[in-house]
Amino acid sequence: MEAITAKRTPCEIYSRVVGYLRPVKQWNEGKQSEFYDRQTFDKQLADSCGE
């Protein structure tokens, strides 16, 4: 198991903040927690449900 984790590369997560992208890692702890609690949705799927 250790050999598998040694080959992993950390992935930087970016989010759009007021018109530009910032790494989530640079946010304070509260904002990071808020970001990971967010739920996403598919706009196309939501639009097709209203028909």
With tokens 């997560």, the residue in question is 13
Instruction: Name the phi and psi angles at 13, rounded to 5.
Output: -105, 130
| Cα–Cα distances in angstroms (integers) from residue 41 to residues 33, 44, 45, in the given order | 19, 9, 8
In the numeric block, which tokens belong to residue 18? 């007021």
CB 44 within 8 A of CB 32: no
Q: Tens digit of pLDDT for each residue in 10-21?
A: 899 898 878 889
Q: Tens digit of pLDDT for each residue in 32-42?
A: 999 999 888 78
**How far apart, in whole angstroms, are the C-alpha atoms of residue 10 and residue 39?**
23
Name the pTM for this structure: 0.54
The domain segmentation of the chain, as residue ranges, is 2-39
Banded model confidence at residue 8, pLDDT cuts 50, 70, 90:
confident
User: Collapsing DSSP states into helix, strand and coil, what is residue 21?
Assistant: strand
